[in-house]
Amino acid sequence: MQAFPVPPQEIYETPTNTTAAAIMMVVIGVSFVGLYAGVFALQRRHGTWVPLAIALGATFCAFLEPLPDVVANLWYYEAEQKSIYSSYENSMPIWVFFSYAVYYGGIGLTLWWLIEQGWTRRKIAIVLAGPLYLYLAGGELFFMHVMEQYTYYGPGAFKLADYPMWIPLMNLTIVLWVGAGAARIRRSLPTGDQLIPAFLLPGFAMTVGLIFLPCLTWTVIHSADPSQGLVYAATLGTIALEIGAMYAAMRLFPAEGFTPLAPKPAAGAPVTAPQTESVTG
């Protein structure tokens, strides 16, 4: 018995590009190993386990993926696909599971690093609005139309080649909350109290960014025969909420940036307690 929506028959029966999927499994696999090598290197250099907790949390969030796929009408081509599990009537490719850590954990930790190095809100905003938005949007269009791994179907607004161009705003919200939240956790909590909040942070950011903020849009596009005007109005509301959430995340670090994160002291060197920095401005 079918419990969740599936795409039209022509999309349902479209085979995945197996050569491209194999390439992606190798690239994502190498990136996954590189991510964890990087977080251990950060621990050795700076003496913080926050990046590792973020990476583990982002990896665990791969089990969240089928739910936003269903509500967003995203379909991974199932025919000839190498899947790791299937849920909500949607089969999950192996490369997608491991891409969660690389995508949300890796980009989130890149923003964490920039924020910890003292980047200002203005610099971070420029990165988000310019190269990072283009990277996220271009990447999805590449995966859809060159690598032929998935598509979006059904009603939607602001689409380019079947891709809703507002989707990157959800992902920008997530990675910014991961990056800014991780920096705030590391600087505000005692070392022993940082790991659980850092582990939970990706799940919090993804649930808010992918489910809560766009819930009006998801409700409208899954209603009975929604008008295009209503779809656009709901999507504009979601865009406003996502931008508002990014504005809130920016308030987790000072306008002029944190004092740059320093390497941990050498063994035997005196250690001074970290100071909590104001986020005024």
Q: Judge contact between 93 and 149, C-beta under 8 A.
A: yes
Q: Is residue 73 situated within a structural domain?
A: yes
Burial string for 168-203 (b: 16+ CB within 10 Å, else e) reads bbbbbbbbbbbbbbbbbbbbebeeeebbebbbebbb
Residue 207 pLDDT greater than 90, yes or no: yes
Q: What is the pLDDT of residue 110?
A: 97
* Strand intervals (E) in 60-175: 74-76, 83-87, 90-93, 150-152, 159-160, 163-164
Q: What is the pLDDT of residues 117-152, one digit of tens each?
A: 999 999 999 999 999 999 999 999 999 999 999 999
The span from the CA of 85 to the CA of 79, in Å, is 14
For 214, the domain range is 9-250
Q: Label residue 141 exposed, middle or buried (CB < 10 Å: 0-12, 13-18, 19+).
A: middle
Task: Give residue 103's pLDDT band: very low, low, confident or very high (50, 70, 90).
Answer: very high
Which residue would you say has higher pLDDT here, 53 or 267? 53
HSE (CB half, 13 Å, CA atoms) of 239? 13
Q: What is the pLDDT of residue 264?
A: 73
Residue with tokens 């499994």: 25
Q: Is residue 219 situated within a structural domain?
A: yes
pTM over 0.85: yes
Residue-averaged pLDDT of the chain: 92
Q: What is the pLDDT of residues 39-83, one digit of tens each?
A: 999 999 999 999 999 999 999 999 999 999 999 999 999 888 888
Q: Is residue 14 situated within a structural domain?
A: yes
**Which residue type does 153 have?**
Y
233-253 average pLDDT score: 98
The span from the CA of 108 to the CA of 58, in Å, is 9
Percent of all residues in the chain with a pLDDT value above 70, rounded to a whole number: 93
Q: Is residue 77 situated within a structural domain?
A: yes
213-229 average pLDDT score: 95
Q: Is residue 271 situated within a structural domain?
A: no
The span from the CA of 36 to the CA of 58, in Å, is 12
Percent of all residues in the chain with a pLDDT value above 90, rounded to a whole number: 81
Q: What is the pLDDT of residue 277?
A: 59
Q: What is the pLDDT of residue 270?
A: 55
Which residue would you say has higher pLDDT here, 6 or 218? 218
Q: Is residue 156 situated within a structural domain?
A: yes
79-103 average pLDDT score: 89
Domains identified in the chain, total number = 1
Residue 1 pLDDT greater than 50, yes or no: no
Q: Is residue 277 situated within a structural domain?
A: no
Q: Is residue 149 situated within a structural domain?
A: yes
Q: What is the pLDDT of residues 172-194, one digit of tens each?
A: 999 999 999 999 999 999 999 99
Q: Judge contact between 103 and 247, C-beta under 8 A.
A: no
Q: Judge contact between 117 and 262, C-beta under 8 A.
A: no
